[in-house]
Structure 1
Amino acid sequence: MRPPLDRLRHALCFEILALVLIVPLGTIAFHMPAHDIGAVSLVGSAIATLWNILYNSGFDRVLHHRRGTTAKTLRLRLLHAVLFEAGLLALLMPFLAWYLDISLWQALVMDLSFAAFFLVYAFAFNWAYDLLFPLPDGQEA
């Protein structure tokens, strides 16, 4: 399994790159000032970073317990990304509604838009991370 410092590097790299991409895209897509998108992105990033560490660790533990390995097939990677985004959606939607002073419906639409972006992003990032930072032979994530 990946050591805690590797998981921290993974989470921080994931969130920093996401912020670089999401602020300009969110500003354009939602017609909101960059400081509002930036603020919800920073808070969302902090929440997502903690969720990322907890979720990935838990997912790998469950996977190892049930299958005896943490190796992920394409299907498992898709499941991993979808479950991650569903959990994050539940955590972030109330914050978006409150901070941006929008309805829960509007927050849901915004959060689903972010989730669609991050679903693709998480899949690509995690695959690339595993390729760029492979574990030593014989070890699994």
Structure 2
Amino acid sequence: MIVRSITYRKLDTMRTTLDRIRHTLMFEIIGLLIVMPLGHLLFSLSISHMGMVGVISAVVATIWNYVYNLGVDHALKRLRGHVHKNVFMRVIHAICFELGLICVLLPLIALYLGQTLAEAAPLVTSLALFYVVYAFVFNWVYDVVFPIPDSPARGEAPTNRA
């Protein structure tokens, strides 16, 4: 039986701290610009309340984003030898990110709005569903626009070895 392995050039490279900061700031700023007016329209919250929900969510998500993605990259590098993700891995990555974030945000938003967890759940669930799709698209586009240094050129296939 012949075993084939797929290898990439220099896949041990990970994103720099400055790149991670750029990623996180861009993600949160663009997300806020989309979520705040939509949340105001859909949930009839005042702009000030939606703004505060947005800021609370952004601060918590920014911290979680950095910690979560750093942890995932280290786990991928250790388990697979590289940090590149296929479509399936990107879907799992986005869903797991949001589930962890919901666990933190639901009680915080309920407390801020003076609501029960059940009353705050539709808002938090809507935010999570939006961000699952947004995270998937944003991260994919980010990887194309800002590729990891020394990763294969766009469109370049991995090399196969017998």
1:5 is the counterpart of 2:27:
no
1:16 to 12, 25, 29: 29
Match of 1:82 in 2: 95
1:58 to 71, 75, 90: 71
2:44 to 19, 31, 36: 31
Q: 1:138 Cα shift?
A: 3.7
Between 102-111 and 41-50, the greater mean CA deviation after superposition: 102-111
Match of 2:130 in 1: 117
Could you say what secondary structure the match of 1:16 adopts?
helix
Match of 2:11 in 1: none
- One-letter code aligned to 2:33: V
Gaps of 5+ in 1: none
Structure 1 Cα separation of the partners of residues 35 and 122 of structure 2: 16
Structure 1 Cα separation of the partners of residues 150 and 32 of structure 2: 33
Q: 1:2 Cα shift?
A: 0.2
For CA contacts below 8 A with separation 6 or more, give which structure has more relative contact order.
2
Could you say what secondary structure the match of 2:136 adopts?
helix
Structure 2 Cα separation of the partners of residues 96 and 85 of structure 1: 15
Give the count of matched residue pairs: 139
Q: 1:135 Cα shift?
A: 2.0
Match of 2:116 in 1: 103
Report % sequence identity: 43
Match of 2:144 in 1: 131
Which of the two has higher C-alpha Rg?
Answer: 2
- One-letter code aligned to 1:126: N
Match of 1:67 in 2: 80
TM-score, with length taken from structure 1: 0.95
- One-letter code aligned to 1:118: Y
TM-score, with length taken from structure 2: 0.83
Q: 1:136 Cα shift?
A: 2.3
